[in-house]
A and B are shown apart, each in its own frame.
Chain A
């Protein structure tokens, strides 16, 4: 691996200081946290810096952590990939539960468009500046955000099925 993770870490800390934190290697992917207001700048830097060269946005997805403190109840996770040095990184942005908002990265990567729409669709995370932030897989009339943990998988009134022992329910997390 030509690009060492320590280089990534040092360069980011030098440029962004406290806005990037919690660097950790989880299995084969180097992971760190970025404050939501600096995500676009961090990603632009990662993409355009001549040594970092993270040219590909692999994946964008959301996570809901209802048990965390209120400022960290939602997370948007970005996976980026440097194809030249073949290094993957994972960026996490924790968002406030009452007002989950983050800037869009569609200006940097066109592929973020639908992925951010999907994240909005399932978690209600608002991507500020997104050109077309509307539902994508669910129907437009839907009012809830189905991948949030409080959303039950099945109609709670069903009595013919007892999944308690097999999976996670809203009571049995």
Chain B
């Protein structure tokens, strides 16, 4: 039996004994997690330490596994949206929109241009919220609380916009097949405009606090670096890959929801270390703001949902008065919608990488199989290799800059 199959603490106990006999060094085991506040989520890492330095580590994941893929096989399509919320809960609208787009691809639903632009706006807002959390918390983990307090207020403003759009804040359950459940209210647009006006100077302040900050740079440069080749092999996507110098972005490679209409840059880093990841995310926030600005300027007129009565719930008033609406309402709620026999893979650029949905339908009311390609799950396996030989406090900064979200990791 391979040594790696043993529980890590047993494996490390053997190594400790061996090393003590060999050269008298005194290694020790450190159990980090599962509920350590610095890990921002429920992961356990069992580390083999030589003083403050990490010799080896093994992560245990799955503490908040909620069997989403199994549940998805037992729920009608519209009820799966709430599961996607709880993947990367820092940017749930991206997950929601990704799921609707997957379904629309499978069902062959054409979405009006206006809806696509509105989706771009919420997805970019979600990306900003995601990057606010990641970067400001990276500041906290390296000892700078101020920046966090400055920008977190603006995450709250983004949540207020969500609230106007869909009524919820964190787990948004936003949208329907073919569009949005209601048109955005004037308040929502006003709040969005206000945010677009107030947030950029704050983000600039935040950047000024950290980007050239001596302490922050010392704590992050050359910490948790990964080469581009390794990153590709480990399946990195999103900002973490771009920090290593590869300009892969699903929004540009396979534009969905009219991303091809917008002009934006893909910021890349060079060394793939914590500092570069931080800088790439900072830049991406500016790009997201620019995309939102363009979408607002070009926002076409039109309906807020596609004309697909088979899948889109009729207005509630009509359900009580017209026969046809009642029938559609009943059929949609009971999940009896026409579903072709097909399989699709649809990817969106999530907050931390390529979020993919692999859906197989068999013509029944539920997916036959639904697999989420969760970027966190795939790149978190590189973590132990990235921190090997580094100090414990560097491992915390690295973990924080990777933006590993437990909900997405564990599904």
Contacts and interface: CB of A to CB of B under 8 A. Distances in A.
Contact of B378 (A64, A114, A146): A114
B84 to A, nearest CB: 16
B366 A111 contact: no
Nearest to B253: A86
Contact of B71 (A55, A57, A153): A153
Contacts of A165: 334
Nearest to B410: A137
Interface residues of B, number: 51
6 contacts: A29-B345, A58-B373, A59-B358, A90-B345, A111-B379, A132-B4
Interface in B63-91: 65, 67, 69-71, 73-76, 79
B105 interface: yes
A138 B65 contact: yes
B62 interface: yes
Interface in A33-76: 55-59, 61, 63-64
Interface string A90-105: 1000000000000000
Nearest to B368: A63
B381 interface: yes
B344 A111 contact: no
B254 A86 contact: yes
Given A57-B235, A63-B369, A165-B334, A136 B62 contact: yes
Given A137-B410, A153-B74, A114 B344 contact: no
Contact of A59 (B5, B232, B369, B371): B371
B65 A137 contact: yes
Contacts of A118: 377
B293 to A, nearest CB: 27
Contacts of B344: 26-27, 29
Contact of B73 (A58, A138, A168): A168
B251 interface: no
Q: Identify whether the interface residues of B are mostly helix, strand, loop, or mixed.
A: mixed
A137 B377 CA distance: 10
B74 A147 contact: no
A115 B234 CA distance: 11
Interface string B361-395: 00011101101010001111110000000000000
Interface of A: 26-29, 31, 55-59, 61, 63-64, 77, 79, 83, 86, 88, 90, 109-111, 113-115, 118, 122, 131-134, 136-139, 146-147, 151, 153, 163, 165-169, 173
Given A61-B371, A90-B345, A27 B105 contact: yes
B109 interface: no
Contact of B233 (A109, A114, A153, A168): A109
Contacts of B232: 55-56
A27 B235 contact: no
B41 interface: no
A137 B381 CA distance: 13
Residue among B2, B254, B345 with the highest chain A CB neighbour number at 10 A: B345
B65 A59 contact: no
Contacts of B411: 137
Contact of A56 (B106, B235, B382): B235
B295 interface: no
A147 B253 contact: no
Given A61-B371, A166-B335, A110 B382 contact: yes
Contacts of A137: 61-62, 65, 410-411
Given A59-B356, A88-B345, A138-B62, A115 B378 contact: yes
A61 B73 CA distance: 15
B248 interface: yes
B335 to A, nearest CB: 6
A90 B373 CA distance: 14
B14 interface: no
A5 B164 CA distance: 45
Contact of B373 (A27, A59, A86, A146): A59
Nearest to B67: A146
A167 B366 contact: yes
B332 to A, nearest CB: 12
Most buried by B among A137, A147, A165: A137
B194 to A, nearest CB: 38
B345 A147 contact: no
Contacts of A83: 248, 253
B105 A111 contact: no
B369 to A, nearest CB: 5
A110 B233 contact: yes
B342 interface: yes
A21 B345 CA distance: 20
Given A59-B345, A79-B373, 6 more contacts: A79-B345, A138-B62, A146-B70, A147-B73, A167-B335, A168-B366
B349 interface: no
Contacts of B235: 56-58, 109-111, 115
Contact of B69 (A58, A136, A147, A166): A147
A63 B360 contact: yes
